[in-house]
């Protein structure tokens, strides 16, 4: 057991070193397009991994993740917007907001805390629901956020484009938060809180009989998920620098749910696999929409085909592999190390030899 833990720790450290090396190469040598894709990949990992904590490990199917992403995006963008632009774009801001330009990290955390407080207040009611009622209620929350963003001209510029946000987001910010999100969710799932969440997911009545508070378990997952969704929103806002409320609606919600379901609910590594699969396939299909000329065969442009194909893949996964690609399992990074399997086999033979009767 000790050897297996050491192997897993070594595999994780090796994976982090490889990730840092790859990011360094991308940051120094890759094109702007590849950097954009890799940063989008990291932001999606934050969203999907944090959503999996609620949907996969608690059993509450939420459709409101993008609403918290929008709260984090707008809150952080307002705080970091230069004072000179605030007087032009948002002239009706309160004085305590209009005369302050916060640092990026502080603004990101402020947006995340705001989203967490809102999640706590909303979750006191929504997390009492079960089954499809939760999905409908969280979808209603998303619609409410959208309506507020469109109509609150004083703070959000309404349906107009919110522009002038400083481009603070970098590869290192995105992937630093992605690693931190994955680690926090992983630690939480393997703690006593995580075991309570999974008990509630598997059998709510039995969990209550054992003294597990269903409400507290769901509310904790809901708040943690909202916190990291807002972090992703801030990173997204400071990457694209201009956006409107329609960026945080059904299209983004469908994309996140697709990644989660394809990768596998109840699996952290499945979430990452789902994000990578959907992101890379979407980019390939999006480029193929413009038409392909193979010399002997010419395929004309078919715009919108990528969304149709992704929808078909989503339906096929639900039909033929409803648990996703990993089916709730986690990838064992320790098995990738050379000699791990040989050591395990040797230990097994040694234990078997000791237990053999004389």
| Structure confidence by residue, pLDDT tens digits, 109-167 | 999 999 999 999 999 999 988 888 999 999 999 999 999 999 998 899 988 899 999 99
Which residues touch 150 (CB under 8 Å, ≥6 apart)?
A: 156, 158, 159, 245
Beta-strand ranges (E) seen in the chain are: 292-293, 298-299
pLDDT of residue 88: 86
pLDDT of residue 115: 97
CA-based nearest residue to 114, from 104, 106, 126, 125: 106
190 vs 252, 268, 340, CA distance in Å?
29, 11, 23
Rounded-to-integer distance, Cα 236 and Cα 240, Å: 6
Backbone angles phi, psi at 191, to 5 degrees: -95, 180
Does residue 306 have a pLDDT over 60? yes
pLDDT of residue 358: 42
Q: Are 232 and 6 in contact (CB under 8 A)?
A: no
Give the Cβ contact number of residue 192 at 10 Å: 8
> Tokens 């969710």 belong to which residue?
185
SS3 59: coil
Does residue 1 have a pLDDT over 60? no
Least confident span in 278-282, 283-287, 291-295:
291-295
pLDDT of residue 329: 81
| Kind of pairing between the strands at 298-299 and 292-293 | antiparallel
pLDDT of residue 351: 46
CA-based nearest residue to 60, from 254, 204, 213, 193: 204
Higher pLDDT, 321 or 72: 72
The stretches of 57-131 forming alpha helices (DSSP H) are: 65-80, 83-89, 95-98, 104-126
Does residue 28 have a pLDDT over 50? yes
Does residue 87 have a pLDDT over 80? yes
The model's pTM: 0.89
Q: How sure is the predictor about 96, in pLDDT bands with cuts at 50, 70 and 90? A: confident
Does residue 22 have a pLDDT over 70? yes
173 vs 28, 82, 108, 143, CA distance in Å?
16, 20, 11, 30
Rounded-to-integer distance, Cα 227 and Cα 313, Å: 30
Which residues touch 231 (CB under 8 Å, ≥6 apart)?
A: 46, 72, 108, 111, 112, 177, 181
Rounded-to-integer distance, Cα 93 and Cα 288, Å: 45
- Alpha-carbon Rg for the chain in angstroms: 23
Instruction: Enumerate the β-bridge partners of residue 243.
Output: 162
User: Token digits for 223?
Assistant: 């708040």
pLDDT in tens, 165-213: 999 999 999 999 999 999 999 999 999 999 999 999 888 889 888 888 9
Share of the chain above pLDDT 70, in %: 88
SS3 156: helix
Rounded-to-integer distance, Cα 123 and Cα 100, Å: 31
Instruction: Enumerate the β-bridge partners of residue 293.
Output: 298
């Amino acid at each position: 057991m000790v050897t297996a833990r050491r192997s897993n720790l070594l595999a994780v450290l090796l994976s982090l070193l490889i990730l840092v090396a790859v990011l360094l190469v991308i940051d120094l040598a890759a094109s702007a397009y590849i950097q954009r894709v890799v940063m989008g990949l990291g932001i999606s990992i934050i969203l999907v991994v944090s959503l999996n904590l609620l949907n996969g490990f608690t059993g509450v199917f939420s459709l409101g993740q993008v609403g918290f992403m929008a709260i984090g995006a707008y809150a952080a963008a307002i705080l970091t917007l230069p004072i000179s632009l605030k007087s032009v774009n948002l002239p009706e801001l309160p004085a305590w907001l209009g005369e302050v330009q916060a640092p990026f990290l502080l603004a990101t955390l402020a947006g995340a805390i705001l989203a967490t407080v809102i999640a706590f207040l909303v979750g006191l009611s929504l997390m009492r629901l079960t089954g499809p009622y939760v999905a409908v209620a969280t979808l209603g929350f998303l619609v409410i956020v959208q309506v507020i963003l469109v109509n609150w001209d004083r703070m959000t510029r309404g349906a107009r484009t919110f522009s002038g946000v400083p481009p603070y987001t970098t590869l290192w910010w995105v992937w630093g938060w992605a690693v931190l999100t994955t680690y926090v969710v992983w630690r939480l799932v393997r703690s006593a809180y995580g075991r309570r969440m999974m008990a509630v997911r598997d059998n709510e009545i039995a969990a209550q009989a054992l003294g597990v508070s269903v409400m507290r378990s769901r509310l904790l997952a809901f708040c943690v998920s909202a916190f990291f969704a807002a972090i992703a929103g801030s990173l997204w806002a400071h990457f694209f620098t201009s956006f409107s409320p329609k960026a945080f609606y059904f299209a983004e919600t469908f994309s996140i749910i697709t990644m989660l379901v394809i990768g596998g609910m109840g699996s952290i590594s499945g979430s990452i696999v789902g994000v990578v699969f959907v992101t890379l396939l979407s980019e390939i299909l999006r480029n193929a929409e413009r038409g392909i000329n193979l010399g002997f065969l010419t395929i004309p442009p078919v715009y919108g085909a990528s969304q149709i194909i992704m929808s078909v893949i989503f339906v096929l996964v639900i039909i033929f592999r409803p648990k996703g690609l990993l089916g709730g399992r986690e990838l064992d990074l320790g098995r990738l190390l050379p000699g791990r399997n040989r050591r395990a086999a040797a230990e097994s033979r040694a234990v078997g030899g000791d237990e053999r009767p004389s």
